[in-house]
Amino acid sequence: MTSIDLKRVYRDHYTAKRTPTIVDVPTRPFVMIDGYGDPNTAQEYKDAVDALYPIAYGFRAAIKAATGDAYTVMPLEGLWWVPNMADFDPTDKSNWSWSAMICLPSAAIATMAAEVIPAVTAKKSLAAGPAARFEHFTEGVAAQILHIGPYADEAPTINTLHEFIDSTGHKMVGKHHEIYLSDPRKADPAKMRTIIRQPVTDV
């Protein structure tokens, strides 16, 4: 049996510095749940997070059974957006749409998802389980930066990232993306590490 540290395999896209950089992120498989509303108050978001972790571990068990390989379950991520991204305000989350998601290894496939998601949903009685889906997500070229501290204090870091995008001659496209390197269910807010990423294109 091989134990695979996916954070090392995907290292270039799951580490970041406190100064912005440009990365090119390939297509990868994810388990995802969509929703709407402030993640700090919406029960829908809490249910999604509570469902994604056990489903991700369900994929891990299925892949280990099929291949003999174990791997580290990846961190929670989120895509966040509003109808007009020019109006995206990190201090007002009440009208945000979101996709909560966890990256999976390449061994995860649709036929596996068709078995794992309903099985884990039923076994764990997951409220948001029926909304979970398997999807290959493509991000491409993006700017990213590391934020350390509470989510509520992200605005200055986001502004730094956006200023960097403007200064390098790029244009923001797509959805605001966050990768929660610290488990939000357990971590000290002051020490939480979050990659903030924004897809870009040339102007």
Whole-number pLDDT of residue 87: 87
Q: Which residue has the higher pLDDT, 142 or 4?
A: 142
Per the document, the length of the chain is 203
Please check the confidence at residue 8 and state whether its pLDDT lies above 60: yes
82 SS3 class:
coil
- For the segment 122-152, what is each residue's pLDDT rounded down to a tens digit? 999 999 999 999 999 999 999 999 999 999 8
Calpha distance 50→53 (Å, rounded): 6
Calpha distance 25→36 (Å, rounded): 25
Question: Taking all residues of the chain, what is their mean pLDDT, rounded to a whole number?
Answer: 94
pTM of the model: 0.94
3-202 classified as CATH 2.60.40.10: no
Please check the confidence at residue 101 and state whether its pLDDT lies above 70: yes
Please check the confidence at residue 184 and state whether its pLDDT lies above 80: no
Please check the confidence at residue 1 and state whether its pLDDT lies above 60: no
154 SS3 class:
coil
Whole-number pLDDT of residue 4: 85
